[in-house]
Structure 1
């Protein structure tokens, strides 16, 4: 990464400001899991003598297994911003599956997880409290990742070509900022819209339309996170919106504030 540029936030809003309060690490999973798992993530903090801080995350089309004291669950993709209060001292370990990468473990439409988190014993051979004990008691992040590697490898599914297809489609959506309509995706991959919608319902959990919207809003937030002068009208056009009011409406619906309010919060952090 070029010197001076912030590292990719991957949906963590105002990551530069947040990392004054917490540490975020990302660790690659075992090579054998690379088809299914994007990375492991670990957030740790010690804010014992500091004011509580609310960290916001733009949703993305990934399933996350989150290991947290008394809250360990598997969460499907969401269409709403997630906010996490940072206070006291703590650590959370997560598995971020690739888009479509959790379906081979689940073997039922990932859309069933929308607003219905799954207990980890449905996938692994231990309960949430047992997983918390085995992961969060360890001294290093590498040890945590090694334990999760072993657990997931014991349940390793057969390779699934559809997972590769889903990731190619989502990489296209994420990389082409001007993509704003499902028809553009269908044309690129040569797939009828109904087939694409069924594929996303089964493997991703949210619709192609929502995936496009979330990536465009993530692009917008990351642009403002750079703390450079931003022409919001021009940015909305660059992200495929026909007008700034439509862009602002979508941004507020997902992020919870207008682009102007978000830009001010970044500048003040």
Structure 2
């Protein structure tokens, strides 16, 4: 059971915003974060942290007394806001000030003063939002059911161009992006109650064993621990 009162909120143009908090008399809680192609911008009293797109499981520790508000960018949406290509922050956890300098500190102070910290962070992100690479939705759609070569043909790029654009937008090459998106599709279905074998086939795996192998490879634990 997650004791951090973690809660997600729908946000137009974003994957979501979210909050988490742990009482001061609680015990430290470690949540295993698995790859989803997303980028998170997380505020706490220690400042604002950027969590880049992951390629494997990452332990995230919430300490007693922590209160976190965050914005989650869907795959491909973060680079125009952060000002860096996604592969520059892949598997990274870094202070936002390394990317924005003093502006990050001013934003952290503004969020701390706000009556609605989550709303303040969301508003600041929205003010910086720009359209992502126009190839982003086409690449995601093409990779859902095609090989990398077929996907490149469908979006009108060479395989080399697709790899370069994919790294910059998502932080992954197209093959890794395809694996992560397929894993997340199957996981969503399984969490919705779809039998594992059916979820695996619907997401594009050859069978349930293939899905189970990918879960262990990407998440570092069996599927039952993620449901």
Tell me which residue corresponds to 2:59: 83
Tell me which residue corresponds to 1:64: 40
Tell me which residue corresponds to 1:262: 225
Tell me which residue corresponds to 1:235: 199
Matches within 5 A, 1:142-153: 143-145=119-121, 148-149=124-125, 153=127
In structure 2, the CA distance between the partners of 1:48 and 1:62, relative to structure 1 (3 Å rule), is same
In structure 2, the CA distance between the partners of 1:90 and 1:203, relative to structure 1 (3 Å rule), is same
Distance in 2 of aligned mates of 1:212 and 1:25: 25
Offset of residue 213 of structure 1: 1.0
Distance in 1 of aligned mates of 2:205 and 2:15: 31
| Residues 81-114 of structure 1: CA deviation (Å, up to 9, x unaligned) | 2333345343212233343333335555431222
The answer to whether the 8 A contact 2:17-2:118 is kept is no
Cα RMSD of the aligned pairs, angstroms, is 3.4
Structure 1 alignment gaps of length 5 or more: 1-16
TM-score w.r.t. the length of structure 2 is 0.77
Offset of residue 241 of structure 1: 2.3
Of 183, 199, 203, the match for 1:217: 183
Q: Find the residue that maps to 1:209 and give its secondary structure.
A: helix
The answer to whether the 8 A contact 1:70-1:128 is kept is no
Question: Are 2:140 and 1:170 equivalent residues in the alignment?
Answer: yes
Q: Find the residue that maps to 2:111 and give its secondary structure.
A: helix
Q: Find the residue that maps to 1:22 and give its secondary structure.
A: coil
In structure 2, the CA distance between the partners of 1:246 and 1:117, relative to structure 1 (3 Å rule), is same
Question: Are 2:7 and 1:24 equivalent residues in the alignment?
Answer: yes
Distance in 2 of aligned mates of 1:262 and 1:205: 26
Offset of residue 187 of structure 1: 4.2
TM-score w.r.t. the length of structure 1 is 0.67
Offset of residue 166 of structure 1: 0.9
How many residues align? The count is: 227
| Residues 212-231 of structure 1: CA deviation (Å, up to 9, x unaligned) | 111221122222323x362x
Q: Find the residue that maps to 1:246 and give its secondary structure.
A: helix
Question: Are 2:151 and 1:185 equivalent residues in the alignment?
Answer: yes
The answer to whether the 8 A contact 1:91-1:136 is kept is no
